[in-house]
Structure 1
Amino acid sequence: MQLTLDKKVLELKHTFSISRESHDFQNTLIVGLEINGKVGFGESTSNPYYKITIESMMAEIEAIRSEIETFDFDRPEIFHQFLKDCQLSNFAICALDLAAWDLYGKIHDKPLYEVWGTSKDYYPITNYTIGIAPIEKMVAKMKEMPWPIYKIKLGTDDDVAIVKELRKHSDAIFRIDANCAWSAEETIQNAPLLKDLGVEFLEQPLKADDWEGMEKVVHQSVLPVIADESCIVEEDVEKCGLHFNGINIKLTKCGGLTPALRMIEKAKQMGLKVMVGCMTESTVGISAIAQLLPQLDYVDMDGPLLIKNDIAEGVKILQNGELKFPELAGSGITMK
């Protein structure tokens, strides 16, 4: 199995701001795995919150390059366990795991949703993210990209007022992501006001480790609450079930499609809503997420809509939120 590593810099269409950071570019690592002319591609982005850089991921992977290239590849799940045993970070494992699944699908000439026994006849529509900015810029972004569902990043002193102003300009569904910026009391107080403004749910309103606060919120909020920063890996799902109404799975954080499939199954067993989110990936990472869509209640996979210089072809997001799936198997990825 031949391994390739490639650092890419994605340029964002607009400065992207959340409650804790802002950026204009997103560094990303593209991994290729090739067997007999079939190439699978995977992706993981850098992330300062989790102290992950492209260089750190490349160093981890290079340290076991020979083991990867001599690995007797059969099933992605077995390859994933090998990577876990090598103690790579989840971000590095994700890029390799996505490449392994894309390769597996291409070898067997099936898209992954078929490999997993699902159909793309139904899938949730991705939201489009509006980052924190002066209100006139947030409105301008909405007008630039008319969309049926918006995820609105909050975490300011005027959050409800922001949503009131945005509501004047759109009848779309709103989802709110406070990225850990609120208190329990603030969340409970904001919820009925936001519900009246057409908000569907609240994502990660409290700090990731504020379980006591979230226990209050999940019982007193009139809006559902979805875990993000509180739900990183498989072991987090069970605890989140007592403190949230649903979970948002990030492939980069949990370590790829292999654990995500298990997290989806566990969450459904517990009666939780299931969402998969992105980390401003290119079409490489987004096409992998798209393979999970028939299993999801919600999805946030707008990465390619937020960047100027997409680096791949694959699943294409159309203007109305519908998708065009490629005829190529696996995740359907080809690099530009």
Structure 2
Amino acid sequence: MKLIIRTYNLKLKHPFTISRETHTIQPSLIVELQSEGYSGFGEATSNPYYKITVDSMKANLEKIIPFIESVTNETPEEFWQKAHQFLQHDMFALCALDLAYNDWYARKQAKKLYELWGYSTDKNPMTDYTIGIDSIEKMVSKMKELPWPIYKIKLGTKEDIAIVTELRKHTNAIFRIDANCGWTVDEALHNAIELKKLGVEFLEQPLKADNWEGHKQLFENSVLPIIADESCIVEEDVAKCHNHFHGVNVKLVKCGGLTPARRMISQAKKLGMKTMVGCMTESTVGISAIAHLLPELDFVDMDGGLLLAEDIATGITLNDGVIQYSDLHGTGVTLIS
């Protein structure tokens, strides 16, 4: 099996601001695995919060080329277990590799990935579209630029209620709020009351990731459901989040790919928690992989490709929140640049 690594600086349509950072470019690493006449594609983006760079991922993958070249016909689960031994210190790189292998494996079976897993897509959830922190005027403008049935609004400012109050004047869409660890317990409890009046569906990660006592208080007292993000990174975190959050947002790049994400989603469902998968501003390569998990999800945030000034691949398409799959097998991805 041959490994090909490509790196990109994905330019965003608008500066993207959350409670702790702003960026205009999203560095991304694309993995291609070639064998037996088939190619599979995977992706992982860099992230300063988790101290992950494209260069570090590339270096870690290049170190294990002998292992990759020795791979024959392992199942994706077997492949992940073996690759995890080499990349357990870099789950982002492992994610890109796992996505590519799942894609390759399904293409070889002449099936779409969700078909290989036996999923029915009849009741897929719609994706939200993210509005990053900005002036209220610019946030309204971004929302008007792309009318959408569900918006995920980034907050964590001193004007949070004023922002949502103004946005609500311009749409009847569902609102979801992501504070990216930007609130205190008291702020979250107060804001939840006001935001519920404004048609907000849930709050995502209001508190710092390790504030478990605070998470418990919110879980027991918030008038809105609380979804974990930064507090739920890898598989063992799902159990920790039980009775501290109402649901978990699984990120493929953080947990190491589709293979562990499916296990995390299954565990969360068994614990009676809501399930969500979110993106990390990936191109359509990573977003198309997420799409195959939709039948197992309550919510999804897979708008990464929509946030880009120019995409690097084709695959799934999004129309008014509804996801349409490619006609191709695997994840359905084709690189265009």
Task: Please indicate the TM-score interval, normalised by the length of the shorter structure.
Answer: over 0.9
Partner of 1:283: 284
Tell me which residue corresponds to 2:119.
Answer: 118
Q: Equivalences for 1:96-111 in 2 at 5 Å?
A: 96-111=97-112
The answer to whether the 8 Å contact 2:52/2:92 transfers is: yes
In 2, Cα distance between equivalents of 1:224 and 1:6: 39
- Report what 1:237 is aligned to: 238
The reply to whether residue 327 of structure 1 matches residue 327 of structure 2 is yes
CA distance in 2, matches of 1:163, 1:221: 18
Task: Compute the displacement of 1:72 (Å).
Answer: 2.4
CA distance in 1 between partners of 2:290 and 2:92 (Å): 15
Alignment of 1:9-28 (within 5 A): 9-28=9-28
User: Displacement of 1:149 after TM fit?
Assistant: 0.2
Number of the residue aligned with 1:56: 56
Between the two proteins, the alignment pairs up a number of residues equal to 335
Hey, what's the Cα distance between the residues in 2 that align with 1:103 and 1:196?
47
Q: Residue 87 of structure 2 contacts residue 94 of structure 2 at CA under 8 Å; is this kept in 1? A: no
TM-score, normalization by structure 1: 0.99
Q: Secondary structure at the match of 2:254?
A: helix
Amino acid at match of 2:85: D
Q: Distance in 1 between matches of 2:184 and 2:214?
A: 8
Q: Which residue of 1 aligns with 2:156?
A: 155
Where 1:103 maps in the other structure, the secondary structure is helix
1:323: Cα distance to partner? Answer: 2.1
The runs of 5 or more residues in structure 2 that have no matched partner are: none
Q: CA deviation at 1:220?
A: 0.5
User: In the alignment, which residue of structure 1 is the partner of 2:35?
Assistant: 35
**How much identity, in percent, do the aligned residues show?**
61
Which runs of at least 4 in structure 1 moved beyond 4 Å after TM superposition? none
SS in 2 for 1:86: helix
Q: Is 1:204 aligned to residue 205 of structure 2?
A: yes
Instruction: Name the aligned partner's letter for residue 200 of structure 1.
Output: E
2:305 is paired with a residue of what secondary structure? helix
Q: C-alpha offsets along residues 20-67 of structure 1, whole Å, 9 cap, x if unaligned?
A: 000001000000001111000000000000000000000001011111
Partner of 2:178: 177
Alpha-carbon RMSD: 0.7
Q: In the TM superposition, what whole-angstrom CA distance separates every residue of 1:108-138 from its partner, at most 9, and x where no partner exists?
A: 0111111111112221110000000000000
2:310 equivalent in structure 1? 309
Question: Retained in 1: the 8 A contact 2:155–2:180?
Answer: yes
Distance 1:310 1:77 in 2: 30
Separation of aligned partners in 1, 2:198 and 2:323 = 28
